Amino acid sequence: MLPQLQGRPMVTDGGMETDLIFNHHVELPCFAAFPLIDTATGQSLLRRYYDGYAAVARQAGAGLLLEAPTWRANPDWGGQLGYGPADLARVNAAAIAMLVQLRESYVATITDVIISGMAGPRGDGYQPGQLMEPDAAAAYHRPQIQAFADAGADMVTALTLADASEATGIVQAGRGAGLPVAISFTLETDGRLPSGVPLTQAIAEVDAAAAPDYFLVNCAHPDHVALALAEPGPWRERLLGMRYNASPKSHAELDEATELDDDDPSLLAAAHQRLTPLLPPLPILGGCCGTDARHVAALWNARQS
């Protein structure tokens, strides 16, 4: 069983793409990090990136959830970057293989290192566009998820999802590949999914159709998550993780930004602390857009204080 399902605290990473673009000055066409897997220089950069979060996990005495840099490694986005089906299968498998090697270097000092294949939405996570029925979504995401499974991933996490139907299809594909599945929805400033659906409704819909192992929220500031949590109920217990944005700006504002809005890590940690009365104990805590290892360390320091 995954340790996070038993309540084991798990550090996960921050905003990989914004960190690489703004802090490391790496060009990521289509906001895609997965092509870095194809070069020795890119893999070295990714290893250093993950090392920063391994240090946070050691300091916190927590486990470590390693998410593959494969958020955009699906047919539509990969196709824009010249990656056909065979290349995508190869790079998704190579991403998991890299994390397996990293785990071997971490296990002497970190107990419970979990490798997750990261899936992303078919379209733009902030703008749902044309929605897919669950069966179509399962067929679309199945090759990537099968590549994760074949390469030895422990689970699959789908991040920045904007509607319940695609989420349901991803769970179906994960179950078909024999992997545990976590679903992470993103929220707008009003606390609703970009499709306009309340978080509680989206979770209920996916649970009724496919029942993933757990849910998270990512790419939203704690102030936006607070609005989603205004409706009480046992549905909150299905949330096992948060991956926050550093900035309280809207997705549209962040898309147009030419400079990184990384805010003060201590302010993000304080905003998370204000949410804790509304949340169950969260095993998984990390960041998303605008965050780096400093923000995740601040979140974990506040958690332990």
User: Domain containing 146 — which CATH number?
Assistant: 3.20.20.330
**65: in domain:** yes
Q: Write the CB contacts of 206 (distance below 8 Å, at least 6 apart in sequence).
A: 164, 167, 168, 171, 183, 212, 215
Tokens 């993780």 — which residue?
241
- Give residue 162's pLDDT: 94
Hey, how many other C-beta atoms are within 10 angstroms of the C-beta on 78? 23
Compute the distance between CA of residue 236 and CA of residue 233 in angstroms, rounded to an integer. 6
Q: Tell me the whole-structure pTM to 2 decimals.
A: 0.96
Residue 101 lies in a domain: yes
| pLDDT at residue 256 in the model | 65
Whether 158 and 119 have beta carbons less than 8 Å apart is answered as: yes
Residue 3 within a domain: no
Question: Is 6 within the bounds of a domain?
Answer: no
Angle made by CA atoms 103, 3, 203, in degrees to the nearest 5: 115
Helix locations, 9-112, DSSP H: 16-18, 40-60, 75-80, 85-106
- From 99, 171, 160, 167, select the one nearest 127 (Cα to Cα): 160
Q: In this structure, is residue 148 part of a structural domain?
A: yes
Examine residue 261 and state whether it is found in any structural domain, yes or no: yes
Alpha carbons 148 and 63: distance in angstroms, whole number = 21
Which one-letter amino acid corresponds to residue 126?
Answer: Y
- Which residue from 88, 251, 261 is spatially nearest to 185, judged by alpha carbons? 251
| Low-confidence residues of the chain: pLDDT under 70 | 128-129, 252, 255-258
Residue 47 domain flag = yes
**In the chain, how many domains are there?**
1
In a domain, 162, yes or no: yes
Report the pLDDT value the prediction gives residue 129, as an integer from 0 to 100. Answer: 66
pLDDT at 257: 63
Which domain covers residue 147, as residue numbers? 12-304
Look at residue 262 in the predicted model and tell me its pLDDT. Answer: 74
8 A C-beta contact, residue 233 and residue 202: no
